[in-house]
Amino acid sequence: MKFVEVALPTPIRSTFTYKNPFSYSLLGKRVVVPFGRRTLIGLVMTESYETSSSFKLKEIAEILDDQPLFTKQLLNSISNLSDYYFHPIGEVAHAFIPNLLRKRHNTQFLKKYDALHITHLPAEPKLVKLTKEQAQCLDSINKSQNKEFLLFGVTSSGKTEVYKHYIKQMLQKNKSSLVMVPEIFLTPQVFESFQKDFGEQVHVFHSGLTDLQRFKVWLKCQNGEALVVIGTRSSIFLPLDNFGAIIFDEEHDQSFKQNEGFRYDAKFLANELAPDGAKIIYSSATPSLNLLKKSASKEIDNFHLEQRYGNFNQPKINIHPINKQKLSSGVSDLLIDEIEKTLDENKQALILLNRRGYATVFFCDGCGWVAKSNCCDVELVYHSSDRRLKCHRCDSSWRLPLVCPECGHDHFEFKGVGTQQIEEMLQERFPEFQTIRIDRDSVASKSKREMSRHTIIDDKPKIFVGTQLLAKGHDFTNLSTIIVLNLDFGFFGADLHIQEQTAQLLVQVAGRAGRRNNQSDVFLQTRLSDHPLLQKLKTGNYAQVAELMLKERKNLGLLPYINLIYLKAEDSNQDRLNDFLLGAKAQLSKDQIEVYGPFDSPIGKQAYKFRKFCIVQSENKERLLQEVKLFTEQIKEDKKHVANWALDIDPINAS
């Protein structure tokens, strides 16, 4: 072939044509090419004997691979994903290439790692015998003719044991399985559980590993070894040709959707990339409304595990109104008494507050000046552990001011409650018991994650304080009291997704209690005790709550009964930002398509840029994508637009 189209990691929404001076095919291989004054590594997507390009073409400088990295089918999938997400094809292709291969390493350099190829098969795994209900679920998965399967099981119903048996079947067929978890924090415990059953065939893949560690797993997948991979969102880019199962643990979690750059949904990618015959299993105690709707309309098969496994009791959910009540660091005094009672019984208590830091507002006691981030226009959060003011939008950090910049006063106060403040209050109230804080600040490093995980396993009486990380898949052996704070914000707001996510969070955190035959209580601290959704959540029956939300959304024509795209934009000039979005709204407002906005983003300003978005929706998805494609082609010709804009396909939040 004389000419090749190369995908390069640039924000330009097209491939680039180069001459092929070699006499053989370069399809699916990495090549080094001149690009302006730079030299870049790209991926050959297509090749031909002719070209329509009118430019003077440059030649490929170097070929890095003896054999293609990607099949023609995968190259087509990359192209399809670029089209679907309206994202530059070079950046999409880049996501599939391991970091080590993004450097100028040729095949000879990488062959030394290929020697690690393992050919022996491990001993037959001995798994826990399934209950009658679990066995019926496994049988349903095996008999299902659909590619996708929803495993809807109440917390502690043994969903993991079901798909472990399915993975065993895959290994017996010499097929691999990918188990996707929402957080790096969860990977060690899941890895240990699977390694105990499947031995050395189990591997971990996430961004916390080194480039070399990730490359070794990628290479094993590329070689077609029968593996069990425990991975986070990015593991969907592994070579999946030999995979028989892709399993999403905690399917409902937002972490499976990338919200910056290439804004992909790992579940959509699984459908695009899974080989023929592979099964995609979505496992959750609180499935997304979208999947429940697909299940109800028979688009996918499902099984509902309704019984808790073993000696697991259903926790009692209590609504605890705090109107006109005295609070200590945001916690009702009555609930502090409940914590004391729990500790006296040698049990554990958990307090969930989805807000990091010590205090949410830091201000001058003299004139009322409030510390704000100058780049994001949001209140800075006071972190007592390192005595800094931090912006939770862009992670910038400031030292504490010595005097007020407005009036020169030197006395400051703070308001609002974060996990650090609750931790401090509980340590003062219960000094003889350990208080463990688990949030993104406390588990930032691998060593801290390991330390936190071991404290969760330990059954000594203690108090856990943390954010939603505590609600995700942990097995607390001696937990009997759970307190949820500051949940009222989840019942209101312009973001359509908040109510669904709040309901899922509450049911998930309640599921951490009642294990090992413990009688347990969940207290929902609220000022909205009469809210209808809260009354439904009191039952702990997520299926009923989801049915109520789906019925309401169907009547109103809302997601998941309509197709959504968010057009998000940012610029340092608000007028320019508004003009761009209003112009886009005029262009996209067509027959069968509705456009609303512009609206302020929940994160109204970040990194010195104002942020807004428009909602583009239609019942006809094909028509919606067609018109949005025309919009992107037209805007490419118009150079006078905002600093950044992006299309968020199938969005999960407005941020």
CATH number of the domain residue 597 falls in: 3.30.70.600
Lowest average pLDDT, out of 229-238, 335-344, 490-499, 531-540, goes to 490-499
Residue with the bigger pLDDT between 91 and 486: it is: 91
Candidates 371, 373, 362; CA nearest to 405 is 371
Question: Given 59, 81, 114, which residue is the final one in a domain?
Answer: 114
For residue 473, the model assigns a pLDDT of 61
CA distance 154 to 242: 31
Mean pLDDT of the chain: 88
Task: Tell me the per-residue pLDDT of 386-404, one tens digit each, with 9 for 90 and over.
Answer: 788 888 777 788 888 889 9
Residue with tokens 């118009």: 638
Taking 60 as the threshold, does the pLDDT of residue 70 lie above it? yes
Task: Tell me the per-residue pLDDT of 597-645, one tens digit each, with 9 for 90 and over.
Answer: 999 888 888 888 899 999 999 999 999 999 999 999 888 766 567 889 9
Residue 502 lies in a domain: yes
Taking 80 as the threshold, does the pLDDT of residue 123 lie above it? no
One domain, residues 538 and 569:
no
| Torsion angle of the four alpha carbons 272, 275, 279, 285, in this order, in degrees rounded to the nearest 10 | -40
Residue 144 lies in a domain: yes
One domain, residues 435 and 503:
yes
Give, in degrees to the nearest 5, the angle at Cα 169 between 163 and 171: 105
Is residue 600 classed as helix, strand or coil in its secondary structure?
Answer: strand
Residue 123 lies in a domain: no
For residue 537, the model assigns a pLDDT of 84
For residue 269, the model assigns a pLDDT of 97
CATH number, domain at 72?
A: 3.40.1440.60
One domain, residues 91 and 190:
no
Beta strands 594-606 and 609-618, pairing class: antiparallel
The pTM of the full predicted model, rounded to 2 decimals, is 0.89
Beta strands 38-48 and 30-35, pairing class: antiparallel
One domain, residues 606 and 545:
no
Contact between 437 and 466 (Cβ < 8 Å): yes
CA distance 365 to 374: 21
One domain, residues 84 and 224:
no
Q: Which helix (H) or strand (E) holds 1?
A: none
Give, in degrees to the nearest 5, the angle at Cα 444 between 202 and 375: 130
Contact between 221 and 215 (Cβ < 8 Å): no
First and final CA of the chain: distance in angstroms?
46
Classify burial at 24, counting beta carbons within 10 Å of its beta carbon; exposed 0-12, middle 13-18, buried 19 or more: exposed
Contact between 435 and 423 (Cβ < 8 Å): yes
List of residues 6+ apart from 117 with CB closer than 8 A: 220, 223, 225
Contact between 159 and 250 (Cβ < 8 Å): no
Mean of pLDDT values over 372-377 = 80
Residue with the bigger pLDDT between 239 and 359: it is: 239
Residue 119 lies in a domain: no
Residue 311 lies in a domain: no
Beta strands 38-48 and 644-649, pairing class: unpaired
For residue 391, the model assigns a pLDDT of 86
Taking 90 as the threshold, does the pLDDT of residue 516 lie above it? no
Q: Which domain holds residue 145?
A: 132-305
Other beta carbons less than 10 A from residue 638's beta carbon: 9
Is residue 331 classed as helix, strand or coil in its secondary structure?
Answer: strand
CA distance 475 to 467: 16
Highest mean pLDDT among 14-18, 101-105, 484-488, 533-537: 14-18
Candidates 493, 652, 500, 490; CA nearest to 566 is 652
Contact between 504 and 286 (Cβ < 8 Å): yes
One domain, residues 530 and 574:
no
Taking 50 as the threshold, does the pLDDT of residue 49 lie above it? yes
CATH number, domain at 209?
A: 3.40.50.300
Structure tokens at 465: 């304080």
CA distance 107 to 63: 10
Task: Tell me the per-residue pLDDT of 155-213, one tens digit each, with 9 for 90 and over.
Answer: 888 899 999 999 999 999 999 999 999 988 888 889 999 999 999 899 999 998 999 99
Residue 386 lies in a domain: no
Q: Where does residue 264 fall: left (phi above 0), alpha (psi -120 to 50 degrees), or beta otherwise?
A: beta
Taking 80 as the threshold, does the pLDDT of residue 563 lie above it? yes
One domain, residues 501 and 623:
no
Taking 80 as the threshold, does the pLDDT of residue 655 lie above it? no
| Torsion angle of the four alpha carbons 324, 327, 333, 334, in this order, in degrees rounded to the nearest 10 | 50
One domain, residues 234 and 187:
yes
Is residue 180 classed as helix, strand or coil in its secondary structure?
Answer: strand
Question: Given 554, 571, 604, which residue is the final one in a domain?
Answer: 554
For residue 330, the model assigns a pLDDT of 86
- What band does 119 get if pLDDT is binned at 50, 70 and 90? very low
Contact between 616 and 545 (Cβ < 8 Å): no
One domain, residues 92 and 153:
no
For residue 157, the model assigns a pLDDT of 86
DSSP per-residue string spanning 438-495 = ESTTTT-SHHHHHHHHHHHH--SSEEEEESGGGGSS---SSEEEEEE-S-GGGG-SS-
Task: Tell me the per-residue pLDDT of 131-155, one tens digit each, with 9 for 90 and over.
Answer: 999 999 999 999 999 999 999 998 8
Residue 127 lies in a domain: no
Residue with the bigger pLDDT between 38 and 397: it is: 38
Beta-sheet strand order (sheet of 462-466): 316-321, 521-526, 479-484, 348-352, 462-466, 434-438
Taking 80 as the threshold, does the pLDDT of residue 337 lie above it? yes
For residue 316, the model assigns a pLDDT of 86
Tell me the three-class secondary structure of 371-438, residue by residue.
CECCCCCCECEEECCCCEEECCCCCCEEECCCCCCCCCCCCEEEECCCHHHHHHHHHHHCCCCEEEEE
For residue 357, the model assigns a pLDDT of 81
- What band does 250 get if pLDDT is binned at 50, 70 and 90? very high
CA distance 587 to 85: 19
Mean of pLDDT values over 448-472 = 76
Mean of pLDDT values over 413-429 = 88
One domain, residues 207 and 268:
yes
For residue 142, the model assigns a pLDDT of 96
**Total structural domains within the chain:** 4
Mean of pLDDT values over 500-510 = 86
Lowest average pLDDT, out of 90-104, 325-339, 503-517, 572-586, goes to 503-517
Highest mean pLDDT among 110-124, 182-196, 236-250, 305-319: 236-250
Question: Given 62, 80, 114, which residue is the final one in a domain?
Answer: 114
Taking 90 as the threshold, does the pLDDT of residue 338 lie above it? yes
Taking 60 as the threshold, does the pLDDT of residue 447 lie above it? no
Residue with tokens 């312009």: 494
- What band does 6 get if pLDDT is binned at 50, 70 and 90? very high
Is residue 42 classed as helix, strand or coil in its secondary structure?
Answer: strand
One domain, residues 215 and 323:
no
One domain, residues 441 and 511:
yes
Check whether the bond before 560 is cis (ω within 30° of 0): yes
Residue with the bigger pLDDT between 94 and 452: it is: 94
Contact between 393 and 606 (Cβ < 8 Å): yes
Residue 437 lies in a domain: yes
